[in-house]
Amino acid sequence: MLPEFTPVNNLTTQMAQQEIATLQKRLTDYGVAYYEEDAPLVEDYIYDAFYARLVLLEAQFPQFVTPDSPTQNVGGAKVKSGLAKVVHPAPMLSLGDVFSLEELQEWDERTTKTLGFQSEYNLELKIDGLAVALTYVDGKLVQASTRGNGSIGEDVTANVKTIRSIPQTLTEPITIEVRGEIYMPKSSFATLNKQREADGLEPFANPRNAAAGSLRQLNVAITKKRELSAFVYYTADPDAIGVTTQSGALERFAALGLPTDDHNRVIAKMADIDAYIAEYTSQRERLAYGIDGVVVKVNHLDNQLDLGHTVKIPRWAIAYKFPPEEALTVVLDIEWTVGRTGAVTPTAVMDPVQLAGTTVQRASLHNPDYLNAKDIRIGDTVTLHKAGDIIPEIGQVLLAERPANNQVYDIPTFCPACHSELVHLDGEVALRCINPFCVAQIQEKLTHFASRNAMNIDGMGPRVVSQLLKANYIQDVASIYRLQETQLLSLDKFKEKSVTNLLSAITTSKSNSLERLLFGLGIRMVGAKAARLIAEKFKTLQAIADASVIDIASIAGIGETIALSVVQYFKTPEAKQLLIELREAGVNQTYLSDVIVDETSFFYGKKIVLTGKLEKGSRTEATKWLQDHGAQVTGSVSAKTDLLIAGEDAGSKLDKANALGVTVWDEQAFIEAQAKEGTDK
């Protein structure tokens, strides 16, 4: 929910400075999650509201505008993936947003005043996808890149070439860069999430983030399976195709074989836009792809040049964002679930309703304070929205519809999983179960331990963890390393290949560096970054366990709260026993590198396999070098392998890599890549 903003005229300079700094930090965090991690933290309308507030405040208090403010940057603030970087010949700008017809009219009036006459506009649907630039030389597709931070994007050429709607050869041998949107059709999104849920993986939040995650894959085969599509809508070089209007450019793109959305419409004045917006608001759910608004562009390209652009947005275009869809429904029940840290979270279960093209019947209520503040009761009629096709949220209770005998909802006092008494810890809004043997917490902790950013045990998702717990094959993270083949074969849908792959992943995880293990233990408030900082300082898990609050808090970026959480964790008898069992299982408890990994490295985040004999050094040295540059070196080739480095006498791993279409380098290619990284082998 959005806070009530203090009117700008009522703010002191100090209040404004503090709010601007807070908004800049909040929006930067939201932007990183959205643009870099493809995992949005909030719905679009919440981001838009905070952004609009920041724009207003910075306009009133320009002395507090900073170069790194989200209002001064395009897209994500950084480009951090393992993909190669591309410098855009002309910046890839984002669009300014308006949220009402009144704001749209104000934009039209400013545009008309600047030009000195009423411009013709081209209307287009705002595709909910990921911006991309495509470069053709003599009619051949030679490069594709994401927007990134507007100046530098990521090279996704190999992935884009798997998208059937994007031609690799134009109908004419021209040289041109065009820009457009990669999107995931709704049908592909539904199929993908159904499969991810069946595999025990977290479903994507919405088609936009599914498209972004698919396009930025390091494994081209995965991108191909995702069935992405695209629309092209812009070129910075209209002379190359001989056009003078935006509508003409779209027609020319189509003639060249490029995919275009044919729902555009040219209007003579802004008053004609109402019908277009109404038409596609009603048709929105029936479209095969997601849209979140309408884009209005000055149609004549000469007029676009006259209007120019700011550092971030063109003045000749604006995006009208659809308001959040709302529906009425009835709360049937309130369920409580237990997370790995013991937080017990309420979820409203409602009569199913259609929102943003999907059936919705559950919405998180976050915590008891939130539930009480909303005064939501079983039997209440409520408004439900799902802005941006992301997170369902209850807007308000319709008190006029509340049954006369409806009682205030009683917050539970006992854990729904283990029936231990729940507590409110000082300074927290969450309700917690503090029973370390709570079965729900154990499942969440085991799932977290095996997750990608922790020990990365591929194949051990929530569904598999649940089966292992029910069979009593695992009880804590140490017991994962005692799993036997016969036990796994008894699990549902587990065959010999699945068992072999999972046991291999478990074995591989033993070699992880200390920071992954520390993060995987699930200590409260210790995220991946904090785990790395602590591991860099103390080098071994035992040294961390023996450290004092003062020792840990002295690390820059940690602080006393995290330090206290770490010390309290390692004081428990369960943690002390766990360290012994992990050591006995052969799990590495040492920090493997003093190198601070450069996340812009080509190797960062890639899964790499070494095979055969290397002539210029040992495989052990090569493994350490790769890990220092952010790679995950594994022992077996699979469809998820990004790169195989093959020395002399490479055997079955090379054959399998070729069969799966995995990229293969010889030793010389590896040496050349190392040289580009600026570090000798």
Write out the catalytic residue numbers. 126
Q: How far is CA 515 from the centre of its chain?
A: 22
Q: In DSSP terms, which residues pair with 429 in a beta bridge?
A: none
User: With contact defined as beta carbons under 8 Å apart, do 636 and 600 qualify?
Assistant: no
User: With contact defined as beta carbons under 8 Å apart, do 602 and 569 qualify?
Assistant: no
Output the six-digit token pair for 611: 């095979």
User: Residue type at 505?
Assistant: A
> Residues near 17 by Cβ (< 8 Å), separated by ≥ 6?
61, 64
Separation CA 291–CA 461 (nearest Å): 32
Output the six-digit token pair for 586: 């052969």
Separation CA 116–CA 441 (nearest Å): 65
Listed residue (132, 129, 204, 192) closest to 161, CA to CA: 132
User: With contact defined as beta carbons under 8 Å apart, do 505 and 479 qualify?
Assistant: no
User: DSSP letters along 295-322, please?
Assistant: EEEESBHHHHHHH-B-SSSBTTEEEEEP
User: With contact defined as beta carbons under 8 Å apart, do 181 and 129 qualify?
Assistant: yes
Separation CA 71–CA 168 (nearest Å): 36
Separation CA 442–CA 475 (nearest Å): 8
The backbone torsions φ and ψ at residue 219, rounded to the nearest 5 degrees and listed phi first, read -110, 110
Output the six-digit token pair for 414: 């006992």
The continuous run of DSSP H or E covering 447 comes out as: helix 439-450
Separation CA 316–CA 393 (nearest Å): 35
User: DSSP letters along 614-634, please?
Assistant: -SSS-HHHHHHHHHHTT-EEE
Separation CA 524–CA 570 (nearest Å): 12
User: With contact defined as beta carbons under 8 Å apart, do 233 and 250 qualify?
Assistant: yes
Separation CA 245–CA 681 (nearest Å): 54
User: With contact defined as beta carbons under 8 Å apart, do 261 and 231 qualify?
Assistant: yes
User: With contact defined as beta carbons under 8 Å apart, do 308 and 315 qualify?
Assistant: yes
> Residues near 507 by Cβ (< 8 Å), separated by ≥ 6?
635
Listed residue (159, 169, 289) closest to 224, CA to CA: 159
Outline where DSSP puts E strands in 323-392: 326-338, 343-355, 358-364, 381-385
- The three-class DSSP label of residue 422 is strand
Separation CA 564–CA 553 (nearest Å): 8
> Residues near 286 by Cβ (< 8 Å), separated by ≥ 6?
none
The backbone torsions φ and ψ at residue 291, rounded to the nearest 5 degrees and listed phi first, read -130, 150
> Residues near 34 by Cβ (< 8 Å), separated by ≥ 6?
40, 41, 47, 76, 209
The backbone torsions φ and ψ at residue 369, rounded to the nearest 5 degrees and listed phi first, read -60, -40
Q: In DSSP terms, which residues pair with 653 in a beta bridge?
A: none
Output the six-digit token pair for 175: 């040289």
Separation CA 440–CA 417 (nearest Å): 6
Q: What is the 3-state secondary structure (H, E, C) of 47-108?
A: HHHHHHHHHHHHHHCHHHCCCCCHHHCCCCCCCCCCCCEEECCCCCCCCCEECCHHHHHHHH
